[in-house]
Amino acid sequence: MRQIFLDTETTGLYPDQGHRIIEIAAVEIFNRRPTQRHFHVYINPEREIDAGAQEVHGISLEFLQDKPLFAQVADEFVDFVRGAELIIHNAPFDMGFLNMELARLGLDKLETAVSGIIDTLKMAKESRPGQRNNLDALCRHFGIDNSKRTLHGALLDAELLGEVYIAMTRGQESLLMELSGTVEQVSHDSVAVDLNNVKLVTADVEELAAHAKYIEGLAKSGATPW
C-alpha cells in the first residue's frame, strides 16, 4: 500500500480569512517502508504572515519572496500524492488549506485524487482520551527522538508523523502476526504428534502419597483444586 505523510505550514489559522500555505511536505512509504521519495516546497503566499504563526514555524515573508507561487507547484504536488492514502495529523486543518488553494485555481478537491485520508490526531484521541495528543506528546509517548524539532517545519513534522503512525499501528500488526504464528504452530504440532508412539508415565507410590498430602492441605485451608 502506498501511503504519504503530509504536513503544511501557513500564514495563519483560517483559510476563509485569506490565509495561505507557505510550505508543503509529503513523505512516501510503501508497505510500511520508506521509499526515500518526498515532495517538499516553500511557497510565496503573496500576503503577510501573522506574527503568531511565524513564532510557531519561524518562516519569514522575506525568506519566501523568491519562492514559487502555489499555482506553479499545484500540478506537481497533486501528481505526487495521486492514488495514495494520505496520513495527516489534524487532517481537517491541512485539507482545508489545500482545498482552498486548489479551489482558487479552479481545480478539484484533493479527496478526488487520493485513495483515502487518515487523521492521526483522531486516532490518538480515541486511543489516549483526555491526554495531550499533539506531535510532541506522541513522540514522547512512543520514545521517538524529536530533539531537532525546535520549531514546526513541514518536512521534519511529516517525517516524525511517519514514525508516530508506524508506532501507533505496530501493536495491532504484531498481534495479528503473533496470533497467526501461534495458530500455525499449534496446527503443525497437532499434525506432527504420533499418538501410537506416546509413552505413558505413571506416578509411583511416593508421588501418589505426596499428591494426596498436598490435596489434603488444600482442603484444610479452605481451598479446593476444582
Nearest alpha-carbon partner for 85 in 113, 57, 66: 113
Residue type, 171: G
Query: Active-site residue among 19, 40, 152, 211?
Result: 152
Cα separation values, 61 from 42, 46, 104, 141, Å: 11, 9, 21, 35
Q: Kindly state the helix (H) or strand (E) to which residue 194 belongs, with its residue range.
A: none
Catalytic site residue 211?
no
C-alpha span between 218 and 206 (Å, rounded): 19
Q: Residue 224's Cα: distance from chain center in Å?
A: 49
Strand, coil or helix: 223: coil
- Which residue is listed with cell 479452605? 222
87, β-bridge pairs = 5, 118
Q: Exposed e or buried b for every residue in 191-211, given b needs 16+ CB within 10 A?
A: eeeeeeeeeeeeeeeeeeeee
- DSSP code for 104: H
Contact 84, 28 (CB under 8 A): yes
All three cell numbers of 128, joined, read 489516549
Residues labelled as active-site residues: 152
